[in-house]
Amino acid sequence: MLRFLIALTCVLSMANSADSVTVVELKDGALTAPTAQPKLVLSEAEWRKRLAPEAFAVLRASGTERPFCGGLLSNKKPGYYVCGGCALPLFASAAKFESGTGWPSFNREVYKGNVERISDNSHGMERVEIRCARCGGHLGHVFNDGPAPTGERHCLNSAALTFVALPPKADAPGDAPAK
């Protein structure tokens, strides 16, 4: 019996760590401290109900929008770019730069734990895919040809993001404190 309980406890604790992520959130226009949160898991039918077709095509089917077509490419307002699937803050306007690629580009995440990196060998290329850490939504890819201070270029699809503008008098958004 005791052995059974120990085994059960191990299974439950493993399930817990696999089902949760430590992330920062956006509350009242500011980033919170990192907290552990459950991952958001929905069925394909639920995602189709929740998302516009173009958002579904990127977030849930790893599609790529055509360059120079995304609605957030030229956006220069202060604010946060949050996941179109679960509203997790992913990038701040302070990290956005003009890459010339035709896709919204950022040189860093608001918090490393909010964006998951996965090696992607599809289409005969070795790339690093980026996904929302909470809902697993496909965002784009990250490359090592970006500007200082990180040298990274997070190449995003506008359809994967929702822009949250800050109130006019708020300070320019920065980054979450380092872990």
Per the annotation, the verdict on 155 as an active-site residue is: yes
- Residues 89-128 as x/- pattern, contact with Zn ion by CB under 5 A: ----------------------------------------
Of 37 and 64, which CB lies nearer to Zn ion in the complex structure? 37
Of 26 and 88, which CB lies nearer to Zn ion in the complex structure? 88
Task: Give the residue among 35, 45, 102 at the shortest CA–CA distance from 72.
Answer: 102
CA dist., res. 8 & res. 39, Å (int)? 21
From candidates 26, 51, 72, 86, binder to Zn ion by CB under 5 A: 86
Say which residue the tokens 């179109």 belong to: 84
- Binding status of residue 132 toward Zn ion by CB under 5 A: yes
In 29-166, which ranges are E strands? 30-31, 35-38, 79-83, 89-92, 96-97, 105-106, 115-120, 127-132, 138-143, 153-156, 161-165
Kindly indicate which of the ranges 7-15, 70-78, 80-88, 141-149 contains the residues binding Zn ion, using the contact rule CB under 5 A: 80-88
Of 137 and 146, which CB lies nearer to Zn ion in the complex structure? 137
Least distance (Å) between residue 86 CB and Zn ion: 3
Kindly indicate which of the ranges 26-34, 78-86, 149-157, 169-177 contains the residues binding Zn ion, using the contact rule CB under 5 A: 78-86
167 cis-preceded (ω within 30 degrees of 0): no
In angstroms, what CA-CA distances link 82 with 1, 8, 11, 18, 109? 47, 37, 33, 23, 11
Of 132 and 161, which CB lies nearer to Zn ion in the complex structure? 132
Active-site residue numbers? 155
Applying CB under 5 A, which residues contact Zn ion? Answer: 83, 85-86, 88, 132, 134-135, 137
